[in-house]
Every structure is written in structure tokens, then in C-alpha cells.
């Protein structure tokens, strides 16, 4: 990891760069696949599944018997862990539900807001180097709580044309309505346009590599919403001498093992801690099955020394991390003043892994600095707010003239007439 000491403010943007390709680098590939899926549907899906996943599938839809078989392939302990996580995620997201809001803005004018579920949602679940069945919990549980009618899941098959049994078990447990063995750009395109076998959806959720991220952004050009432009995983830890160096190193490595394009950063007011964490990373790295992946991510990462907490937090807000761990003697200062972060983890015994799996918060979060303007996935992500209004005769008398004056000032006579006719009727 690159060590940086007291960087000058004018250099912050350079040292905080993410190791990602620009959209232009991969947009041409995404456009090509989108166009082919739009024109050829399942034929194009089969072509790209063969090309990218190395398998020819006679059927992309997961069959009921495959789901039944999956349950017997995973241990009872893992099933129990998944059910525990599901329960905690349900509790936290159910608590986010809000009631109808109604107000009389002036006598006779009643306005209210109600929420309705998005009817058709698509979930993208990575399944390559790490089958992220935990992401199904994070997406399908709130989708079900929101009342989404159709929950379409796409995940890439392995070389044998199979889907990891934990993915199938979790999807079934959470009420996913269809599971499809399709990954990458072609999966996003299928859910954007719809094919004979895969339903078109109204909003697409889920993380993925940079190609999936750009594909989701392209989907918005075709009338499909997305949760956020979430790309490679990232973590920033703020720590000082009050933290445990081995814990900090383990947290950094927990994100580094996600992928070679992940990024982890330690920001510390302690030079001693930085040295200790660097040593711990090397020791722990050698024990990891995914150490080659983690090592490449570590090469993209930073150990940054800042002379005080105030400047450290300014740097952190500039970065806007997806995951932010606070292990300092001034935790409250960071909690009160953090502005840009997807999810915050506080104290020595709150690893980021807890949020990834079972504490209850959602792990589908904004990356690449988008924490400055996006929220992580929550119950409202699967709903729309609709406003209603009802105006009585008294209400029309109270606001009618104001509407007429404003419409006339904008040169919209028909708008004015719609009110004037009603006011004339009320005079009679």
C-alpha cells in the first residue's frame, strides 16, 4: 500500500482517485451487447453467455427441481445463518415503513402522500469469483416488504451451467419470482428490454463489476431506473492509537478480497498505527485463499497520515467512501460531522462484515464517490411516493384567484380557464 504523509489539499483529488476505467473505455462494448439483445433477445443472451461464461445453456430459467436440490446441498448451519440474517434485515427495513401523510394546506384543500410498490424489479447478483447470496437478502427482503409483484433475479452460471446452491436457496427463501442463469452486461440488457424468457423490469438493483455498472447506467436511457451506479467495493477506515491494528488490517483485507479493482484506505492520526497495520496486512494476507486478488487491490490502496482529526475528516468527506469504519478516541466527532458515506461502522467491534451479512443494515451502497449524492438501498428504494389532492368548493374559492394570476403571468391561458370556469360556477 502506498503511504502518504500529510498530503496537501491541492493533491487530495489525485491521491483519492479510484482504480476504475472511464465509461468511455467500456461503453462501446456495452452498447454493442445492448443493441444485439434488443434485436435478438434470447439468441443474443445465449451467444454472450457462451462467450463470457464458457457454457451453452439449453435453458436459462432455473427450474423448480434445481431449487429443491439446492436446499440439500448446503449445511443446516448455513441455512440457519441465512435465516438469522434475513430476520435482522427484515426488522431493520420494516421499521423504515412510513404512514400516509395528509395535510390541509388551506381550508378546503386536502393534500396527501401515499407510497406504492414498484411492480417489477430486477436483481443482479454477482456469481463469479464470489457468489454473493447475501446480496439477495439485501435486495429481495425489502422488495418483498414493499410489495413488489415481480422480482426477477439474474446471476451468471458456472462452467457447468449451474448456479451456486446458496444463491438458489436464498432466492427461494426470500420470495424471488424468477431466477435466470444470465450474468454481466447481457443480464442488464435482458431486464432492460425483456426477452421471451426474461421479463422486462421497471428498476434494476445490485452490484457488479465496471461493465455491469456502465450497463446499468445505459439502461436508464431506455426508461429503466437503477438503484445507483454502484461499482467495485471500497472501504475507508479512520483509526488512531485507540484502535486494534489487527482488526483494522482485517477490515481492509475484507474489502480488498472482493476484487482486483477494489480499493481500501486507512486514514490515521498515528504514524505508529500505520506501521503496525502495514505489518498486519502482510501477515494476514498470506493466510487468505483469495490473496492474489486481495494483493492487487492492496496495490490500489492507501495508508494516509493526517496530523489531526479535523483535517482527516475533511479528506474523508472529499472521498465519500462506500463503507466507513470509525475506530478513534474521537468517534462522536466523526459521527456528528461525516457528510458523505454509504454506511458507517463504529468502534473496534463493528466490522464492515457485519453490515455485509447479518446486522440488518443494507450492503448495497454507493461507490466511486456517489455517496455524496446517493443513499444506499432501503425500503423506499422499492417504492414510489404518489401525491393526491382533493379541493372542495371552499378550497377553490381560497386558492382559485392565486392560480389564475400565476397562470396568466406565465402566459398559460388554458390553465387559467380551468380555474376561472369553476369560479364562475361557484358565483352562481
Binding region for substrate = 233, 255, 258, 323, 356, 410, 415
Residues in binding site: 124, 186, 209, 233, 255, 258, 323, 356, 410, 415
The crossing angle, in degrees rounded to 10, of helices 291-299 and 271-285 is 150
- Per DSSP, the three-state class of 153 is strand
Residues in binding site for Zn(2+): 255, 258, 356, 415
Q: Which of 276, 322, 330, 352 is catalytic?
A: 322
CA separation for the pair 197, 299 (Å, rounded): 42
323: annotated active-site residue: yes
H/E run at residue 218: helix 210-219
Q: Which of 93, 309, 323, 363 is catalytic?
A: 323
Our measurement of the distance from residue 364's CA atom to the centroid of its chain's CA atoms, rounded to an integer in Å, reads 3
CA separation for the pair 340, 239 (Å, rounded): 17
Residues in binding site for NAD(+): 124, 186, 209
65: annotated active-site residue: no
How is the beta sheet containing 302-305 ordered, strand by strand? 2-5, 302-305, 263-268, 234-239, 323-327, 343-346
Contacts of 138 (CB under 8 A, 6+ apart): 89, 362, 363, 364, 377
| Contact of 37 with 190, CB cutoff 8 Å | yes
Q: How many CB atoms lie within 10 A of CB 97?
A: 12
What positions carry a catalytic annotation? 322-323
Amino acid at each position: 500500500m502506498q503511504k502518504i504523509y500529510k498530503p496537501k489539499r491541492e493533491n487530495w483529488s489525485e491521491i483519492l482517485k479510484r482504480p476504475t476505467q472511464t465509461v468511455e473505455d467500456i461503453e462501446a462494448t456495452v452498447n454493442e451487447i445492448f443493441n444485439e439483445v434488443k434485436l435478438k433477445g434470447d439468441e443474443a443472451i445465449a451467444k454472450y453467455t457462451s462467450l463470457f461464461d464458457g457454457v451453452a445453456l439449453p435453458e436459462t430459467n432455473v427450474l423448480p427441481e434445481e431449487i429443491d436440490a439446492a436446499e440439500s446441498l448446503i449445511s443446516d448451519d448455513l441455512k440457519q445463518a441465512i435465516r438469522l440474517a434475513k430476520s435482522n434485515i427484515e426488522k431493520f427495513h420494516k421499521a423504515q415503513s412510513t404512514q400516509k401523510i395528509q395535510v390541509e394546506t388551506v381550508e378546503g384543500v386536502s393534500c396527501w402522500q401515499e407510497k406504492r410498490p414498484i411492480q417489477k424489479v430486477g436483481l443482479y447478483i454477482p456469481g463469479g469469483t464470489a457468489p454473493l447470496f447475501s446480496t439477495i437478502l439485501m435486495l429481495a427482503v425489502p422488495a418483498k416488504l414493499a410489495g413488489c409483484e415481480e422480482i426477477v433475479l439474474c446471476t451468471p452460471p458456472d462452467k457447468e451451467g449451474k448456479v451456486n446452491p446458496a444463491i438458489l436457496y436464498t432466492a427461494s427463501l426470500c420470495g424471488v419470482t424468477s431466477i435466470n442463469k444470465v450474468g454481466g452486461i447481457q443480464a442488464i440488457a435482458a431486464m432492460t428490454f425483456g426477452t421471451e424468457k426474461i421479463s422486462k423490469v421497471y428498476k434494476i438493483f445490485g452490484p457488479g463489476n465496471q461493465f455491469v455498472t456502465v450497463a446499468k447506467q445505459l439502461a436508464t436511457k431506455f426508461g429503466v431506473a437503477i438503484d445507483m451506479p454502484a461499482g467495485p467495493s471500497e472501504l475507508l477506515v479512520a483509526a488512531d492509537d485507540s484502535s486494534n491494528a489487527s482488526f483494522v488490517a482485517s477490515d481492509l483485507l475484507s474489502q480488498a478480497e472482493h476484487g482486483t479493482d477494489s480499493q481500501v484506505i486507512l486514514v490515521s492520526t498515528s504514524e505508529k498505527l500505520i506501521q503496525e497495520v502495514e505489518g498486519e496486512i502482510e501477515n494476514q494476507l498470506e493466510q487468505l485463499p483469495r490473496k492474489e486478488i486481495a494483493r492487487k487491490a492492496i496495490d490500489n490502496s492507501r495508508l494516509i497520515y493526517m496530523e489531526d482529526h479535523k483535517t482527516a475528516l475533511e479528506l474523508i468527506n472529499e472521498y465519500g467512501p462506500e463503507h466507513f469504519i470509525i475506530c478513534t478516541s474521537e468517534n462522536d466527532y466523526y459521527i456528528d460531522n461525516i457528510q458523505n458515506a454509504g454506511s458507517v461502522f463504529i468502534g473496534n467491534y463493528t466490522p464492515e462484515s457485519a453490515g455485509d451479512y447479518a446486522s440488518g443494515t443494507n450492503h448495497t451502497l454507493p461507490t466511486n464517490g456517489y455517496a455524496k449524492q446517493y443513499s444506499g438501498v432501503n425500503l423506499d428504494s422499492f417504492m414510489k411516493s404518489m401525491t393526491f389532492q382533493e379541493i372542495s368548493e371552499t378550497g377553490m374559492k381560497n386558492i382559485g384567484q392565486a392560480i389564475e394570476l400565476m397562470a396568466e403571468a406565465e402566459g398559460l391561458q388554458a390553465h387559467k380557464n380551468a380555474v376561472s370556469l369553476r369560479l364562475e360556477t361557484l358565483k352562481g
